[in-house]
């Protein structure tokens, strides 16, 4: 079910009469709220926004991939909505990681709402099990990165699951789905996970296999639960572990 009050990005889509993923044209949407998008070579970061009164210019790095550019425009529109008049510097990684500052998180949330609105995504995932196959299907349908799609599915998909993400530099963080038991802790020891994957002779990415939930979670009732596990190395260079409670 959708929330009683639509988030501002989804309200904007409704106001503009946008009803299909293919209609989410970030340049047109930006124009509707007084912002012009231009593509240039940027020295640092993926994008920036400069506003004056009710007009703004969003500049996006011309060398970034199209999905990243779209997310960057949507992210800057998030700043335009939530943080107008404040001076902000956006640091790369617009397709999200934990630990980013509050404003960046808010802008990322706005971008996810704008590019993958619940009212379009919920019908698409209804009755479809959570998997990397679904992640790539959503990424293709909505023109976003696989990482952005996976994180959005953690908000919207009804399954209980966790994503454990390994950055290229070895840092790890995780994201829980909305319906994962809040008293279960995620074991984020990815080396153990890799060992598990190796032990099970994981033939290739995107193949899920069953395993006891307690290999990935700690908490009451975990030892009686089963899970499906899969790993995927995404184009962004991150390795993502998906553990779905079955």
Shortest gap between Cβ of 135 and Zn ion (angstroms)?
24
Q: Of 106 and 167, which has the nearer Cβ to Zn ion?
A: 106
Q: Which stretch binds Zn ion (CB under 5 A): 7-15, 83-91, 112-120, 155-163?
A: 83-91
CA distance 109 to 81: 12
Surface-to-core class of residue 65, CB atoms within 10 Å of its CB (0-12 exposed, 13-18 middle, 19+ buried): exposed
Q: Of 148 and 190, which has the nearer Cβ to Zn ion?
A: 148
Is 153 one of the binding residues for Zn ion (CB under 5 A)? Answer: no
Q: Of 87 and 204, which has the nearer Cβ to Zn ion?
A: 87
Residue with tokens 């995927």: 232
CA distance 31 to 26: 8
Q: Of 107 and 163, which has the nearer Cβ to Zn ion?
A: 107
CA distance 93 to 126: 30
Helices (H), ranges, 132-172: 132-142, 146-156
Element containing residue 56 per DSSP (H, E): strand 55-61
Q: Which stretch binds Zn ion (CB under 5 A): 17-25, 58-66, 85-93, 125-133?
A: 85-93
| Tokens at 37, concatenated | 């998008």
Q: Of 73 and 243, which has the nearer Cβ to Zn ion?
A: 73
Shortest gap between Cβ of 56 and Zn ion (angstroms)?
13
Element containing residue 110 per DSSP (H, E): helix 102-115
Phi/psi region, residue 18 (left: phi>0; alpha: psi -120 to 50; beta: rest), is beta
The candidate with the shortest Cα–Cα distance to 103, out of 152, 145, 49, 148, is: 49
Instruction: Tell me 136's DSSP state.
Output: H
Is 90 one of the binding residues for Zn ion (CB under 5 A)? Answer: yes
Enumerate residues 1-30 that contact Zn ion by CB under 5 A: none
Q: Which stretch binds Zn ion (CB under 5 A): 48-56, 66-74, 84-92, 184-192?
A: 84-92
Q: Of 21 and 78, which has the nearer Cβ to Zn ion?
A: 78
Total residue count of the chain as it appears in this document: 246
Enumerate residues 102-141 that contact Zn ion by CB under 5 A: 104, 107
Shortest gap between Cβ of 60 and Zn ion (angstroms)?
12
Q: Which stretch binds Zn ion (CB under 5 A): 2-10, 90-98, 116-124, 147-155?
A: 90-98
Q: For Zn ion, which residue has the nearest CB?
A: 90
Give how many residues touch Zn ion by CB under 5 A.
Answer: 3
Q: Of 58 and 180, which has the nearer Cβ to Zn ion?
A: 58
Contact yes or no for 154/175 (Cβ under 8 A): yes
Interface residue list for Zn ion (CB under 5 A): 90, 104, 107
């Amino acid at each position: 079910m959708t929330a009683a009050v639509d988030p501002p990005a989804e309200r904007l889509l409704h106001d503009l009469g946008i009803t299909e993923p293919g209609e989410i044209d970030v340049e047109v949407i930006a124009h509707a709220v007084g912002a012009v998008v231009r593509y240039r070579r940027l020295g640092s970061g993926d994008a920036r926004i400069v506003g004056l009164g009710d007009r703004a210019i969003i500049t996006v790095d011309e060398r970034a991939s199209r999905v990243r550019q779209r997310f960057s425009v949507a992210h800057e529109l998030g700043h335009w909505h939530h943080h107008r008049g404040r001076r902000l510097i956006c640091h790369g990684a617009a397709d999200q990681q934990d630990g980013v500052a509050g404003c960046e998180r808010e802008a990322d949330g706005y971008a996810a709402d704008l590019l993958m609105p619940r009212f379009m995504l919920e019908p698409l995932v209804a009755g479809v099990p959570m998997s990397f196959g679904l992640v790539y299907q959503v990424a293709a349908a909505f023109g976003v990165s696989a990482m952005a799609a996976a994180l959005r599915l953690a908000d919207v998909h009804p399954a209980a699951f966790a994503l454990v993400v390994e950055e290229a530099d070895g840092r790890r963080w995780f994201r829980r789905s909305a319906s994962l038991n809040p008293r279960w802790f995620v074991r984020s020891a990815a080396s153990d996970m890799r060992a598990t994957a190796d032990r099970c002779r994981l033939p290739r990415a995107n193949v899920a296999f069953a395993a006891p939930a307690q290999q990935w979670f700690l908490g009451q009732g975990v030892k009686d639960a089963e899970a499906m596990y899969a790993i995927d190395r995404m184009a962004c260079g991150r390795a993502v572990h998906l553990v779905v409670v079955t």
